[in-house]
Amino acid sequence: MSSIIKGDADAFDANWKAREESNYTHWVRGEVENQIQLAFRNHWTLFSELMDKEPLYNGGKRVMEIGCGRGSLSCYFSDAGYDCTLVDLSEKVLETAEKIFSKNQLDAKFLVGDANDLDITDNSFDVIYSIGLLEHFEDVETTLKEQMRVLADGGIWFGYIVPKYSNNVQKDYAWINEVLKGYQENHATELNKEEIFRSDHGSERYIPILERLGLKNVQASGVYPLPMISHSIDFPFSLMPKKSELELVRHFKKILNENQKNTGTHPWLCKEGYGNAFLVWGVK
Ligand SMILES: C[S@@+](CC[C@H](N)C(=O)[O-])C[C@H]1O[C@@H](n2cnc3c(N)ncnc32)[C@H](O)[C@@H]1O
């Protein structure tokens, strides 16, 4: 079973049921309208760019998202013609994901499953990724081993990890969120919110394990170099009024354009420890 130390399957299930944000869709085909859609758009363009540039990747289209939640990144993969399988411990969230996919005429398979013990045959996928999963494990080795087992030779692997940070881009903006919270009338759900374990490990924790498990050309970088601005106790996901979000997105796009001009690399990349997350990737 899972090695999550606080917040087991029931906690994740309860969390998904309780949160207003469970109903938001972070994937859109057209223009993005809020900061989370902007984030997933950048995850997608970054992943695609890294896949295009990786000479060892076999170019296969069989994709698995593990700990998929609503499968926001997988919507992009499915829309681009990849053959997607979405796996999560929470039945509740898989139902939500299925509804989102079907509403948008996107195809995927949905599997209830544990990242530490996948009921999937060896070498089944050409692309495997998780977004916001690995930091919830105390023992990452078991799930990494499982993911390497089901990854095909030449398959590309991504781990997008959101550790506990106290000194990153968010720190200069924490006060804005405190001010904005005054607009939230009812704080009752705050008391019921499950505290789910999150580690503070950086990429140095993952890279040696992945290399030992046979992943090649392993690389890492900070990602998501923007603050998350929110009025809600469901921070960071619940959204401000549409007009405010659109204005924020306009400013964020300008910052990202500047980043790209200054660095010449994908604007979502940054120094590890500065952004809200980091990405580790490599090829089997
Ligand atoms: C923080 S959410 C991320 C959701 C999604 N990847 C996204 O981008 O929005 C973590 C997800 O991992 C799932 N999860 C937690 N432990 C798991 C495990 N052992 N096996 C499979 N899924 C798991 C949770 O149910 C939850 O949906």
Tell the residue number behind the tokens 């996948």, with chain if given.
Answer: 118
Domains of the chain: 9-283 (3.40.50.150)
Measured from the Cα of 143, ligand 1's closest atom is: 19
Give pLDDT tens digits for 100-152: 999 999 999 999 999 999 999 999 999 999 999 999 999 999 999 999 999 99
User: What pLDDT is attached to residue 12?
Assistant: 66
> Which contiguous run of DSSP H or E holds residue 217?
strand 216-223
pLDDT at position 19: 62
CA nearest ligand 1 atom 14, residue: 67
Amino acid identity at 197? F
- pLDDT in the model for residue 63: 98
For 80-100, letters b (16+ CB in 10 Å) and e give eebbbbbbbbbebbbebbbeb
Q: What is the pLDDT of residue 194?
A: 58
Residue 237: the pLDDT is 73
pLDDT at 38: 97
Concatenated DSSP letters of 133-180: -GGG-S-HHHHHHHHHHHEEEEEEEEEEE----SSSGGGGGHHHHHHH
CA of 5 to the centre of ligand 1 (A): 14
Q: Which residues of the chain have pLDDT under 50?
A: 1-7, 188, 191
Strand partners, 156: 127, 283
Per-residue model confidence (pLDDT) at position 107: 98
97 C-alpha vs ligand 1 centroid, how far in Å?
A: 12
Atom of ligand 1 nearest to the CA of 93: 27
- Residue 99 structure tokens: 């509804």
Instruction: Show Cβ contacts of residue 245 under 8 Å, excluding neighbours closer than 6 positions.
Output: 33, 34, 35, 239
Query: What SS3 state is found at 29?
Result: coil
Report the side by side order of strands in the sheet with 269-270: 109-112, 83-88, 62-66, 125-131, 151-161, 277-283, 216-223, 269-270
12 lines ligand 1 (CB under 6 A): yes
In this structure, are residues 123 and 152 in contact, taking their beta carbons and an 8 Å threshold?
yes
**Candidate from 4, 5, 12 with most ligand 1 atoms within 8 A of CB, to mutate:** 12
The pLDDT of residue 185 is 63
94 lines ligand 1 (CB under 6 A): no
